[in-house]
Amino acid sequence: MANPAYYTEEGLKKLQDELNHMKMVERPHISQQIADARDKGDLSENAEYHAAKEEQGLLEARIAKLEEVVANARIIDSSQLDTSKAYIHCTVTVRHAENGSERKFTLVAESEADIKTGKISVSSPIGKGLLGKAVGEVAEVVTPTGSTRFEVIGITR
């Protein structure tokens, strides 16, 4: 069994909707493409048929992967979160040690990450650096551009 991944109800619903779309819309569409290409004759030289079969294989792999993720997903009840330390689904306010600028990050599962809205993955360099930190602690974050230090100044649900 794979390690569980933690999601909000909204994040898990999004994954389930995506899986349902693949199974109910994309899978029948590709099957129809294969049938149409098969009707065109000799399969050994039919590029449309081979392309559709390859697309089908890729889709089935994506479906299998997403089914595994959904099967191992666990929902986090944000009202039960301990805000004494930074954990998944907490919003962490940090101060950049070098320039003093403040920023808020919400720690989320990888599939829910959206940097534009401040949601960062717990598996990202910043997310890993902030996990388990308490208010007043400094997180040393190693990114591709170098090392950065963030002081945790607040944690909320």
In this predicted model, what pLDDT tens digit does every residue of 81-116 receive, in sequence order?
667 888 888 899 999 988 889 999 998 888 788 889
Q: Which of 11-20, 82-91, 148-157 has the lowest mean pLDDT?
A: 82-91
Q: What is the mean pLDDT of the chain?
A: 86
Query: Residue 64 pLDDT more than 90?
Result: yes
Tell which of 38, 58, 75 closes a domain.
75
The first and second tokens of residue 19, run together, are 């899986």
Residue in the block written with tokens 């805000």: 83
Cβ–Cβ under 8 Å, residues 88 and 77? no
Q: Are residue 98 and residue 134 in the same domain, yes or no?
A: yes
How far is 84 from 134, CA to CA, in rounded Å?
6
**Residue 80 pLDDT:** 67
Q: Which domain holds residue 64?
A: 5-75
What is the four-CA torsion angle of 24, 27, 31, 37, rounded to 10 degrees?
A: 130
70 and 117 share one domain = no
Note whether 58 and 118 are same-domain residues: no
Residue 89: per-residue pLDDT? 82
Residue 71 belongs to domain with CATH number: 1.10.287.180
User: Do 110 and 149 share a domain, yes or no?
Assistant: yes
Same-domain check for residues 67 and 96: no
Cα distances (Å, whole numbers) of residue 31 to 5, 40, 41, 54, 64: 32, 15, 17, 12, 17
CATH number, residue 137:
3.10.50.30
Last residue of a domain, one of 52, 75, 98: 75
Domain identity same for 90 and 127: yes
Q: Are residues 71 and 88 in the same domain?
A: no
What's the number of domains the chain is made of? 2
The DSSP bridge pattern shows strands 73-75 and 102-108 to be: unpaired
Looking at the structure, tell me whether residues 149 and 85 fall in a common domain: yes
For residues 56 and 116, state if they share a domain.
no
Give the Cβ contact number of residue 23 at 10 Å. 14
Domain boundary among 16, 46, 75: 75
Residues 152 and 88 in one domain: yes
In the prediction, which pLDDT does 78 show? Answer: 63
Residues 59 and 89 in one domain: no
Q: Check whether 29 has a pLDDT greater than 80.
A: yes
One domain for residues 82 and 70 = no
